[in-house]
Structure 1
Amino acid sequence: MANLWKPEIFQGRSKKRDYFEGWYFKSIDKEEKTAYSIIPGISLPRDPEKSHAFIMLLDAKNHKMYYFNYKKSDFWADKSQFEIKIHKNIFSLKNIHLDIDDGENKIKADLNFSNIIPWPVKLLSPGVMGWYAFVPKMECYHGVLSFNHCIRGYVDINDNKISFNGGKGYIEKDWGTSMPSSWIWMQTNHFENDGISLFGSIAKIPWLKSYFTGYIFGLLYNGKIHRFTKYNGTKICKLIVNDDIIEIKLENKEEILEINAKRAEGVDLPAPSFGEMTSKVNESLNSKIHVKFYIKKEKDIIFSGTGRNAGLEFVGNINELLNGFMK
């Protein structure tokens, strides 16, 4: 139970099957010429023969994905803090160390993180999911571990070494049985002004033999995370999705957030279904997201800007998400 207030650490110590857990590290170099997402995790399907640990690496600019499969026994997690090891590879909130050689690809990396900005954890709201984190047997749980942080270090893929000194990063995670059947996800921390970051997610949530649409958005602006979530009374006033554009308008008691995201070409990544990595999600790290943020009582817009190097995903059926608002 105490792990609820530490969403970053491994949550699945007692799980044997129909379970997954994965951490998502997004890293952009200073010149914004290289964008990697590195995803370590563990997959525990119903068939124990298919259980394994994994490391995924998405090279977004070159539209290439690497998937490295490891034995379940190669996975180790600290019990009290976020540190996991998969064979020779180490992951924490402070750093990533990669030492991969599968005979076809050789990847080495040392990335060090500083100035981590997590979603706040409070007694009755242990992270980004708010009080929903206390609900047992949900299909999927989520954590935002760093809205924005500084990077030093390098990644070397097949003798192509890229410096990440001065780069920016983002960290989140998911755990549970399966990813939702329908969802929208977006993230960017590359705006015209430094120190601004946007994260957002809308998803179909199974509930008591039916479902509802859940949503969590956070805008880091002037050192404060402005929250637009279902559990704090935020309403979605507009949701439009087509092949090119995702438009969203969110409104809470005091603030309004308008989002216009332009979708770019992505890469298909494996995703979990009942713990097994058999689903697919198309992810781009080359999208753009325009944001307007303002206070209801004030006429002037507080912030307006376009985020670059944006992560963007849309999976499933938009009608499921729209219908879920009425449940």
Structure 2
Amino acid sequence: MNTFAFQNKKKKNYFEGWYYRITDAENNINIAVIFALTKDKKHPHSFIQFYDGHQKKAYYYTFDINDFYYDDANDTVRIGQNELSVHHLLLHTDDVHIEATNHEVVPLQIYNGHQSAMGYLSNAPLECFQEVLFMTSDVTFTLNNSPHKGTSYMEKTYGTNFPSQWIWLQSNHSKNGSLISFSVGKVPVLFFEVKGFFLILNINGKEQRYGSYNFSKIKIDAVSDTHTTFSIRKGTTTIIITAKTNHPVELVGPRKNGTMDLAVHESLNATATIKVFNHNDIIFEDEYEHVGLELMY
């Protein structure tokens, strides 16, 4: 499965978007860019969102849906004159000009025959799908003609509706060098609403997977507008994660049928900690900064 590729699963009432983060910690640059389209029958369009975590501002640029083009040969999304691929970003608006190139991308490792973050559930009849395209990459970029170096991260979502509630957390900046990508959401399955989740944890280049697809269990111990604590168990392993948001900014997300009018509150400057236990013994712990965090639970 080419997880970056345009899945294009429905002809109408559908959304699909690619999320790309760049962080230059030394120069206090923390930004995110979303390339997407919605086939909402009331207002079909393509769009780009730009989120400046330092200025705490977000911009939503609307394009005609026919301005969206996916180049299969080069695995590149184009919206107007703007381009995004696993290796490159070109964004030029009235507010910002960015050109970025990724180097030494760290993609997800194959897990039980799947590279998908969702494992075999990527083939299930769900309303929303999420893929982690890469956990980290070195990046060189210019921001409004000023050159920089930093790290980047990329994921995507697609489907007909965001979960009714969710928590999302991501960071590739930590004290002990681990990488983390986590998502949990309440999603409808038949006549029920279930909690689906995945945690991808990369420690010293070794990737660990926990999720609904491998009999891991999750417990949300606490959640508010600013804090969350949750625990994940699989076999003799217990993982406890705490996170605190910091100046979240309102982005726009999809409701039912891909309608883009859902207020999504996201921080790019959150903090988090993780503790990994084998039985009652701590075998790993880390502290994260420049955390992407959404507490929509």
TM-score class, shorter-chain normalisation, is over 0.9
User: What letter corresponds to residue 47 of structure 2 in structure 1?
Assistant: F
Determine whether 1:46 maps to 2:58.
no
Q: Which residue in 1 is equivalent to 2:61? A: 68
Q: Deviations over 1:52-85 (max 9, x none)?
A: 1111000011110111111111111023553111
2:17 aligned with 1:8: no
Q: Give the aligned partner of residue 78 of structure 2.
A: 85
Gaps of 5+ in 1: 317-327
**AA paired with 1:227?**
R
> Which structure shows the higher strand fraction?
2
**C-alpha deviation, 1:15, in angstroms:** 2.9
Equivalences for residues 1-327 of structure 1 within 5 A = 5-12=1-8, 15-31=10-26, 33-47=28-42, 50-79=43-72, 82-100=75-93, 105-121=94-110, 124-136=113-125, 138-156=126-144, 161-165=145-149, 167-194=150-177, 196-273=178-255, 274-296=257-279, 299=281, 301-316=282-297
The CA distance in 2 between the partners of 1:310 and 1:128, in whole Å, is 19
Contact 2:237 2:277 in 1 (8 A): yes
Asked whether the 8 Å contact 1:10–1:78 carries over to 2, the reply is no
CA deviations over 1:9-62 (Å, ceiling 9, x no partner):
1011x6321100001101101415011010011111022xx1111110000111
Q: 1:82 to 1:293 in 2, by over 3 A?
A: farther
In 1, Cα distance between equivalents of 2:171 and 2:12:
34
* Counterparts of 1:285 and 1:221, CA distance in 2: 22
Determine the structure 2 residue equivalent to 1:321: none
Spell out, residue by residue over 1:285-326, the C-alpha distance to the aligned partner (whole angstroms, 9 max, x if none): 111001112334x83x3322210010110224xxxxxxxxxx
Measure how far apart 1:118 and its partner are.
Answer: 2.0
Q: 1:248 to 1:206 in 2, by over 3 A?
A: same
* Contact 2:226/2:295 (8 A) holds in 1: no
What residue ranges of structure 2 are gaps of 5+ in the alignment?
none
Q: By how many angstroms is 1:135 displaced?
A: 1.2
Residues 249-280 of structure 1: CA deviation (Å, up to 9, x unaligned): 11112432110101212111010121121111
Give the whole-Å Cα distance in 1 for the aligned partners of 2:29 and 2:89: 17
- Asked if the contact 2:176/2:287 (under 8 Å) is kept, the reply is no
Cα distance change on mapping 1:106 and 1:149 into 2, 3 Å: same
2:90 and 2:283 map into 1 onto residues whose CA distance is 40
How far off its partner does 1:125 sit?
Answer: 2.9
> How has the CA–CA distance of structure 1 residues 303 and 123 changed in structure 2, closer, same or farther, with 3 Å as cutoff?
closer
| Residue correspondences, number | 296
Normalising by the residue count of structure 2, what TM-score does the alignment of the two structures yield?
Answer: 0.94
- Specify whether residues 92 and 204 from structure 1 end up closer, same or farther in structure 2 by C-alpha distance, changes over 3 A only: same
Give the drift of 1:214. 0.5
Q: CA deviation at 1:106?
A: 3.8
Q: CA RMSD in A?
A: 1.7
CA contact 1:120–1:128 (8 Å) conserved in 2: no
**Counterpart residue number, 1:325:** none
Q: Give, in whole Å, the separation in 2 of the partners of 1:55 and 1:111.
A: 16
Q: Deviations over 1:202-226 (max 9, x none)?
A: 1011111221101101111010111
Taking the aligned partners of 2:17 and 2:141, their CA distance within structure 1 comes to 23
CA contact (8 A) 2:129 2:159 kept: yes
Q: 1:179 to 1:164 in 2, by over 3 A?
A: farther
> Which one-letter code corresponds to 1:76 in the other structure?
Y
Matched position secondary structure for 2:176: coil
- Matches of 1:117 and 1:240 in 2, distance apart? 32
